[in-house]
Amino acid sequence: MKILIAEDDPVSRMMLQATLRKAGHEVTATEDGDQALRTMSAPDAPRLAILDIMMPVMDGIEVCKRLRALPGGERPYIIMLTAMNRSEHIVFGLSAGANDYVGKPFVKEELLARVGVGQRMLELQAALANRVAELEAAMEHIRVLQGVLPICMHCHRIRDDHESWQKLEIYLTEHSEATFSHGLCPECLEKFYPEPEPEPVPLLKKDKGLNLRAPARGSEDRQAKATVGMDRKKE
């Protein structure tokens, strides 16, 4: 993960860099608050920043306030670096919008643990943002289905948001969870697959005055023929 370090003390800055790089992080180091603010305001800025409170040009608390005041974009995770036993610095930093703090001189294990918490929080924020985007897209589809759909009066195709025309079943499949099964209503069955004229039925057997004839071809065969015909049209 990309991490920014803003620390004016060269020894502390080098120790922070070495610890984080050894843990596999990509580190950018600055010496004052102004450099830190410009780095964190860039489009490809690190997602996590470790800011020393006492720095020249601009202190860490002011950097934190200005970062939180930036419009839009993803909010970085900010860890304040402060001298131990200075509770007022901790309060000021958290009140300015910092997420966490680490005391100076820092303990490596504690530093990495707090950075790990920040990384997990950023991952959760990204997952939440993706889910919100998916829900907004789903709500947009619902609004489209609840509104007026332009449909061709002849072929019954629907015009989508991209000005292209789609078959009704394709459009509804893409914008809803509906599935389709094809069949024939009685009117279409009678119109497109009418019952044929009865054919002469041959006499099979005459026994005791009874004429036994072959069974007539009824409407049961028509639905099967219609289904076969529809399948051939699809091919």
Its pTM stands at 0.60
pLDDT for the residue 150: 79
Q: Which domain holds residue 48?
A: 2-128
Give me the amino acid identity at 161.
Answer: D
Single-letter amino acid code for the residue at 225: K
Same domain? For 10 and 120 the reply is yes
Look at residue 142 and tell me if it is in a domain: no
As for how many domains the chain has, the answer is 3
Domain contains 57 = yes
Please give the pLDDT value at position 234: 47
Torsion angle, alpha carbons of 147, 153, 157, 162, to 10: -60
User: In a structure prediction context, what are the per-residue pLDDT tens digits for the chain, which is 235 residues long?
Assistant: 999 999 999 999 999 999 999 999 999 999 999 999 999 999 899 999 999 999 999 999 999 999 999 887 778 999 999 886 678 878 888 999 999 999 988 999 999 999 999 999 999 988 988 888 888 887 776 666 666 677 887 787 878 777 788 887 777 777 666 676 777 788 887 888 887 766 665 655 555 555 555 555 555 555 555 554 455 444 5
CA distance 187 to 178: 24
**pLDDT in the model for residue 87:** 80
Residue 160: count other Cβ atoms within 10 Å of its Cβ: 16
User: Does 174 lie in the same domain as 192?
Assistant: no
pLDDT at 84: 62
Q: Quick one: 98 and 207 in the same domain?
A: no
pLDDT of residue 182: 72
* Whether 26 and 92 share a structural domain: yes
Question: How many CB atoms are closer than 10 A to CB 214?
Answer: 10
- The CATH number of the domain holding residue 10 is 3.40.50.2300
Q: How far apart are CA 224 and CA 235, in angstroms?
A: 17
Looking at the fold, whether 41 and 124 belong to one and the same domain comes out as: yes
Q: Kindly provide the residue ranges of all beta strands, DSSP E only, lying in the chain, ordered along the sequence.
A: 2-6, 26-30, 48-52, 77-83, 100-104, 158-159, 165-166, 203-207, 210-213
Burial 104-139 (b: 16+ CB within 10 A, else e): eebeeeebbebbeebbeebeeeeeeeeeeeeeeeee
Q: Same structural domain for residues 72 and 7? A: yes
